[in-house]
Amino acid sequence: MTRRVHGGLARARVELGGARVLAENGFGDAAVSRAFHAAFRAAEIALLVLGETRAEHSEVVSAFVRRVVRERSLDPRAGRLLRSLYNRRALADHSDATAPAAEARAALDDAAFVLDAVEAWLAEPALSTPPAPENGATRRPEKPVRRGSRA
């Protein structure tokens, strides 16, 4: 693994540790948000290893599920949990209701699962080695042509 990959995963672990401190001190909303960001960083690193980047949180989540979970055999639970954390983070950040302590603890557990799954996936070169570029491959693959549309 490269220094950037190691650094990104280390930063994800720091984010998760910060989320844990927030949860332990009664800041459930902030803990949920930080837990998502920890898992999000791991997802970004997984995509980076495959030579892809995305600009928006939602794009990272979608690309992670498609490219890493479906195409590269990462545990499907990691994809479901990342999407769930994304939704819970939005509620925590934009809702007037406060996230209960149990929700914060669940978010911590879910983010830890995603980080652990990505680290295990990265340790398996048969799954995480990027494909050889073909004819000017881009960071973002072209969208497939829809049925019934004219090319």
pLDDT digit string (tens) for 45-67?
999 999 999 999 999 999 999 99
Higher pLDDT, 86 or 140: 86
Evaluate whether residue 130 is within a structural domain: no
Across residues 132-151, what is the average pLDDT? 57
Sign of CA dihedral 10, 6, 8, 56: negative
Evaluate whether residue 9 is within a structural domain: yes
Evaluate whether residue 33 is within a structural domain: yes
Evaluate whether residue 19 is within a structural domain: yes
Q: How far is CA 97 from CA 33, 59, 89, 100, 139, in A?
A: 14, 27, 12, 9, 39
> In the prediction, which pLDDT does 144 show?
59
CATH of the domain at 22: 1.20.120.330
Give the count of domains, the chain: 1
- DSSP assignment of 50-94: TT---SSHHHHHHHIIIIIIITT---HHHHHHHHHHHHHHHHHHH
Higher pLDDT, 136 or 4: 4
> Out of 76-85, 90-99, 137-146, which region has the weakest mean confidence (pLDDT)?
137-146
Evaluate whether residue 30 is within a structural domain: yes
Across residues 137-144, what is the average pLDDT? 54
> In the prediction, which pLDDT does 136 show?
47
Q: What is the mean pLDDT of the chain?
A: 90
Domain that holds residue 68: 3-124
Q: How confident is the model at residue 138 (pLDDT cuts 50, 70, 90)?
A: very low
pTM of the model: 0.84
Across residues 103-118, what is the average pLDDT? 98
Evaluate whether residue 78 is within a structural domain: yes
Evaluate whether residue 139 is within a structural domain: no
Evaluate whether residue 144 is within a structural domain: no
pLDDT tens per residue, range 85-105 = 999 999 999 999 899 999 999
> In the prediction, which pLDDT does 125 show?
82
